Amino acid sequence: MSDVLDELQWRGLVAQSTDEAALRAALAEGPITYYCGFDPTAPSLHHGHLVQLVVLRHLQLAGHRAVALVGGATGMIGDPRQSGERVLNTKETVAEWTERLKSQVSRFLDFEGDNPARLVNNLDWISELSAIDFLRDVGKHYRLGTMLAKDTVARRLRSEEGISFTEFSYQILQGIDFLELYRRHGVSLQTGGNDQWGNLLSGVELIRKTEGAAVHVLTTPLITKADGTKFGKTEGGAVWLAPDMMSPYAFYQYWLNAADEDVVGWLKIFTFRTREEIAELEAAVRERPGAREAQRALASDVTTLVHGAEATASVIAASQALFGRGELAGLDAGTLGAAVAELPRTTAQVGDAVVDLFAASGLVASKAAARRAVAEGGAYVNNVKVTSEDAVLTADDLLHGQFALLRRGKKTLGVAVADGAAA
């Protein structure tokens, strides 16, 4: 059990802790009970939350007891952002998102066995707290000077917009969570992102003042890319964990496209591969970078972790089929649609000239260029070579009645979408 802290540090998953020596001792004497909170301020968790879910899983695999908190109460407020005041969501929206997040979190933890995880909602206790109880029993333990000194609060106070009492109070609510879980379940460690350091310390201080006990906090660092760009940034925003917000195919492709400079670090952080396995993949990056073995391992492992083995097998099959190494017709409509979603496209009808579709999709500069591609043997529809400049699109070419994959040469792809079909 004590080795887990060394493992987390080796993987780059530790930024700060309140007292490393004391935490090591507690882990060695374990098992301890620990928690991490997830606020439903969006309908899905994203890549940042994935770091915390991985930490939860590592600690549980080491024999410690996990508590995952979904903030049905704190999600109605949201922690203060540096950019300005949050728009408060309705109670109904927060309740719906809370259920979605519960389902997502549940995939990462084991709720059976010798150290089963717990899933809790802080609305269960915060909703029962009256304003008088809040002020008398909790508020008296907080000092404004300490609260105002928190980084995000201080920045917001210096801004033109300032900060509302609602968001300013968030750190107290998070402290209440730690205290309540300490009392109910013996929780003695809270984990979270390093940007939450101040909020996490709120609970440490509250427990010290009310219970006279010492508890621990462990934070993870901000994950960055080697080139300085923001990790997890895509055209669609965040790397969402919900399949209805980011398809498993697009999710897989994000990890597959990891740069050589990033992939080894991400293997350590986001997968459960051993040190020996990661060392072998690091050597592969160095010796055979074109094979992208490490990237394929990363994409497969993380997609399986988030979406399951079946979804991963489907997206790998789709990736291969797009470039002629698998059967396009064997892909289900959802996977195929996700696979072609970002390709250059044109609308089409049965009977349209194939050369017109190649030109309209932008795969070639003109119809004349499309005819040359056909003549040179470099034009394909659904990975079948086009042999005639007069070829037309047939009903059989429209997979699932919607898509015809266009390919110029080995790697340049586009798609013809049946007129009236969903984009």
Which segments are annotated as binding site for ATP? 233
> Which residue from 241, 258, 237 is spatially nearest to 51, judged by alpha carbons?
241
Residue 187 structure tokens: 């929780």
> Any idea what DSSP says for residue 234?
B
Reported as type and span, the H/E element at residue 191 is: strand 187-193
> Which residue from 349, 359, 372 is spatially nearest to 406, judged by alpha carbons?
359
Task: Tell me the C-alpha distance between 92 and 359, whole Å.
Answer: 49
For 406, residues 6+ apart whose C-beta sits below 8 A from its C-beta are: 357, 358, 361, 363, 379, 380, 381, 413, 414, 415, 416
**Annotated binding residues, as ranges?**
35, 170, 174, 233
| Residue 49 near residue 38 (C-beta atoms within 8 A) | yes
Q: Could you give the count of Cα atoms lying within 13 Å of 358 in the half-sphere of its Cβ?
A: 29
How far apart, in Å, are the Cα atoms of 247 and each of 261, 298, 317, 420?
Answer: 26, 17, 15, 22
Task: Tell me the C-alpha distance between 48 and 130, whole Å.
Answer: 33
For 283, residues 6+ apart whose C-beta sits below 8 A from its C-beta are: none
**Which residue in this structure is represented by tokens 């004391």?**
22
Task: Tell me the C-alpha distance between 158 and 150, whole Å.
Answer: 12
| Residue 124 near residue 71 (C-beta atoms within 8 A) | no
Dihedral, CA of residue 307, residue 309, residue 312 and residue 318, to nearest 10: -130
Give the chain's radius of gyration (CA, Å): 26
Dihedral, CA of residue 263, residue 266, residue 272 and residue 276, to nearest 10: 50
**Strands 216-220 and 345-348, how do they pair?**
unpaired
- What φ, ψ does residue 242 adopt, rounded to 5°? -80, 130
**Annotated binding residues for L-tyrosine, as ranges?**
35, 170, 174
